[in-house]
């Protein structure tokens, strides 16, 4: 294993080259195909076999040095970004920083996976099990983990024994899953002139009542539980009672129990907004309705840090100079296997970055950024040891 770790360290500049070039291939939500095709080509150049793209768009490949069907380990990063089609994906350099859309999240993860494969290829690595190198789709936003859901559903249901993903930068270790429920909430009415039709229930006022109630919800600090109204739209003009207004709501928690409790309180607030506005105008016959559409449901999970996969990851980190002072909860592809009771963790790919999900996102290749992919390689070895 020492030779593999040395190869990864020596390839630090090559890893950065991969990271930059991958990032300059657009991969907007639900349109990851071109990046996926190129990623599959690179996996093939590095000796991976049985390369194919499944019906959801995940790129799946197998390390040829796998010597037994079990355990089956998935080693992955995600292809998609949060940025819509048509944005400038060129990566620019500003001193030691590389600026680009998704340069850290998750171009660093994708490059780390390739670097591990390159080191394995150079030293003809063999393992007591099967390692699948996978690039998933739909990890971000409204993708709602569609790639990894498919992987653990139709594609490889019941077959995967452990899951390791590289998402972002640094050397964090996510061993718990932050669950999230996301809704598009719409209040609908008949509409009318702000003066002439005054006296009917107003969808905007109903939504305002609901928003005020949501803002007053009390949530626990631990396990961390949050709520947010991130987007509001609707109406036609300043002097018109809206026909329709809507808002996008996100609630999150590390605890499935707390997430469910918050969801119940959220729905109560939404209904109270509707009822309160109707009661304000009891003589009106104008309709007022509430519609709640699900935008995404990510399961929460709280597996203990005593699990072998977590302990093996911490031990592997020590061997390459990565110290895990504390594990964390995250919202990543690992949410799905964790919620299914399958051992899973997400680690950083090394280096430093800021501004994820913004147009100002940047990555800096630190002197020890190679420790990210080294750590991943050591974890894979530990997961396949008998």
pLDDT at 153: 95
Cis ω for the linkage preceding 52 (within 30 of 0): no
pLDDT at 142: 86
Given a cut of 90, is residue 141 above it in pLDDT? Answer: no
Q: Are strands 173-177 and 328-330 parallel, antiparallel or unpaired?
A: parallel
pLDDT digit string, tens, across residues 339-377:
999 999 999 999 999 999 999 999 999 999 999 999 999
Q: Would you call 80 helix, strand, or coil by DSSP?
A: coil
Q: What is the pTM of this model?
A: 0.91
The span from the CA of 234 to the CA of 232, in Å, is: 7
Q: Phi, psi (5° rounding) for residue 133?
A: -95, 120
Q: Where in the chain is the domain with CATH 3.40.630.10?
A: 2-177+300-384
- Two tokens, residue 14: 């090559």
- Calculate ∠ Cα 307-312-315, nearest 5°: 130
pLDDT at 130: 96
Q: What is the DSSP letter of 102?
A: T
pLDDT digit string, tens, across residues 35-51:
999 999 999 999 999 99
- Two tokens, residue 143: 């993708």
381 — pLDDT class (breaks 50, 70, 90): very high
Q: How far is CA 354 from CA 170, 283, 342, in A?
A: 11, 55, 31
The span from the CA of 96 to the CA of 285, in Å, is: 65
58 — pLDDT class (breaks 50, 70, 90): very high
Given CATH 3.30.70.360, say whether it is the number of domain 179-298.
yes
Q: What is the DSSP letter of 202?
A: -
Measured in whole angstroms, the distance separating CA 351 from the mean position of its chain's CA atoms is 19
- Two tokens, residue 154: 């139709």
Q: Where in the chain is the domain with CATH 3.30.70.360?
A: 179-298
- Calculate ∠ Cα 145-234-30, nearest 5°: 25
pLDDT at 66: 83
Q: In the CATH scheme, what is the code of domain 2-177+300-384? A: 3.40.630.10
Given a cut of 90, is residue 295 above it in pLDDT? Answer: yes
Count of C-beta atoms within a 10 Å radius of residue 28:
19
Given a cut of 90, is residue 67 above it in pLDDT? Answer: no
Which residue's entry shows tokens 């504390």?
A: 326
Given a cut of 90, is residue 386 above it in pLDDT? Answer: no
């Amino acid at each position: 294993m020492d030779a593999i770790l040395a190869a990864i360290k020596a390839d630090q500049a090559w890893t950065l080259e991969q990271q930059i070039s991958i990032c300059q291939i657009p991969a907007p939500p639900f349109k990851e195909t071109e990046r996926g095709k190129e990623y599959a080509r690179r996996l093939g150049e590095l000796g991976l076999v049985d390369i194919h793209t499944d019906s959801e768009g995940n790129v799946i490949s197998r390390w040829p040095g796998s010597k037994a069907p079990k355990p089956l380990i998935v080693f992955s990063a995600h292809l998609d970004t949060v940025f819509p089609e048509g944005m400038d994906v060129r990566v620019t350099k500003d001193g030691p920083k590389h600026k680009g859309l998704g340069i850290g999240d998750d171009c660093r993860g994708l490059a780390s996976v390739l670097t591990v494969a390159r080191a394995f290829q150079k030293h003809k690595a063999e393992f007591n099990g099967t390692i699948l190198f996978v690039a998933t789709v739909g990890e971000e936003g409204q993708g709602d983990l569609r790639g990894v859901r498919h992987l653990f559903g139709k594609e490889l249901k019941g077959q995967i024994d452990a899951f390791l993903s590289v998402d972002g930068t640094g050397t964090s270790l996510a061993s718990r899953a932050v669950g999230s429920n996301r809704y598009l909430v719409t209040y609908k009415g008949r509409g009318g002139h702000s003066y002439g039709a005054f006296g009917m229930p107003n969808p905007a006022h109903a939504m305002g009542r609901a928003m005020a109630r949501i803002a007053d919800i009390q949530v626990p600090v631990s396990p961390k539980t949050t709520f947010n109204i991130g987007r509001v739209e609707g109406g036609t003009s300043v002097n018109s009672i809206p026909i329709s207004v809507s808002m996008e709501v996100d609630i999150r928690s590390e605890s499935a129990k707390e997430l469910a409790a918050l969801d119940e309180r959220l729905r109560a607030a939404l209904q109270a907004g509707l009822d309160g506005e109707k009661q304000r105008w009891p003589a009106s016959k104008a309709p007022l309705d509430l519609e709640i559409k699900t935008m995404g449901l990510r399961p929460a999970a709280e597996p203990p840090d005593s699990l072998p996969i977590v302990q093996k990851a911490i031990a592997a980190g020590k061997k390459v100079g990565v110290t895990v002072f504390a594990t964390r909860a995250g919202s990543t592809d690992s949410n799905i296997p964790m919620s299914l009771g399958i051992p899973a963790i997400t680690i950083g790919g090394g280096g430093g970055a800021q501004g994820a999900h913004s147009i100002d996102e940047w990555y800096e290749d630190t002197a020890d950024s190679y420790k990210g992919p080294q750590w991943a390689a050591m974890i894979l070895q530990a997961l396949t040891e008998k």
